[in-house]
Amino acid sequence: MKITTGQLRQIIREEISRLDEQGCGDREEGCVKKSNGSDPDTYGPKGTWYILNNKKGGVFRKGFDTEQSAKDSLEAMHAGK
């Protein structure tokens, strides 16, 4: 199997992103991010907000219209524990 330089770059970017997403609760910017539309199946449409999964990496929930609605959902989830 051959892989192009572009494909390799994409694989590396995705892996770095996945690793960066783990442990987001310890960072100042937190676990709520805005989608740039590069991968709508994973992060939702461009301009929407998503919540990262702090324990397993990846996306917990996506498709929020505002940053505040994503933060409210995250806060409600934490309050339910």
Q: Give residue-wise pLDDT tens across range 45-75.
A: 999 999 988 777 789 999 999 999 999 998 8
Alpha-carbon distance 58 to 74, whole Å? 15
**Domains of the chain: which residue ranges?**
5-79
Beta bridge partners of 42: none
> Which uninterrupted H or E stretch holds 70?
helix 67-79
What phi and psi, each to the nearest 5 degrees, are found at residue 63? Answer: 90, 20
pLDDT of residue 57: 77
Tell whether pTM > 0.75: no
- 49 or 25, higher pLDDT: 49
